[in-house]
Structure 1
Amino acid sequence: MARASVCVFCGSRPGVHPEYAAAAETLGTALAGADWRLVYGAGDVGLMGIVARAAQGAGGETFGVIPTHLMTLEVGKTDLTRFIVTENMHERKKVMYMNSDAIVVLPGGAGSLDEFFEVLTWRQLGLHDKPIWLLNTRGYWDPLSGLLDHVIREGFAGESLATLVEGAPDVPQLMRALQAKLG
């Protein structure tokens, strides 16, 4: 059994820059190398598929959660260590979150943003204290960080919001930060 579980939210597409796929592959390999279980959306497409195949290829545990309606669209990856099919997206996020010790968000679209904001809101409300990291490949999350700063400046959140999420520019720095938190 893995020492810790890291939930990875990421795109079901690879994005336009090869660095996104390279970071996903490096992260999957690194998680397995640290003996941490990958918890993710169970797709075999885009960054999701890349991170999962890399973790599997390095001998890591994989825990995938996918809603019934996305089995075809996201090509449900059924050869994972553990594969769960949920009724809907909310259940998917809940199962992923409950089975993880930390959250890492790679580049992604609206779904990744939805997942990020839900776990950030839960942390802001004191419902959990799991660390949340943005893997900021190619500065992908800079606009989001700017938005969070704007929300604080405009008085819609306290300064503490900025302390609830951390960023890392690359996988080695992210892994050092995770190691410090997860051991």
Structure 2
Amino acid sequence: MTPATYGRGGRGMEIGYTTAPTHLGRLLVAGTAKGVSAIYVGDSEHQLEAELRREYPAAKISRNTAQVSRWLRQLVRHLSGERPDLDLPLDVKATAFQRRVWEALQQIPRGSTRSYSDLARAIGLPKGQRAVARACATNPAAILIPCHRVVREDGGLGGYRWGIKRKEALLAVETKAPTRKPS
């Protein structure tokens, strides 16, 4: 997604979305033909849809496109431990700096955490932990861009846009061995 398209409130974009209940609360997945544009976690479908419409006020937003529904099913399986790896296409608006941080986040292995300082060093900005924390806080695609894997230097959980209890739950799911169905 280009900054110009985002800056126009998504004018000219078609965004599909769908939601599902999970152990984290309600999960909303939204995307364009190019990829996932948003993954939000919250308590109500209405709240999540309103947030999507605030983010993209001029976009044509519709419910339940087939592709977005497939992405949502993959995320739900991931959250249940059935699908440890996620490889979904992204179509998010990002500055060059945010993109660097978000790409570094995607390199953190499942079940592992890194501090904001570790992440800053990984992208070549050893004193950039506050900027890294801000990039994490503005991440529009929870779980797929795994900002929940970033913790404070002292090992404390720090903040999380979707709530600390959800961050704890995501980390707990990721540290468990994947669930395999017997053959």
TM-score exceeds 0.5: no
TM-score, normalising length: structure 1: 0.28
Whichever of the two has the greater Rg, that structure is: 2
TM-score (norm 2): 0.28
Which structure features the higher share of helix residues?
Answer: 1
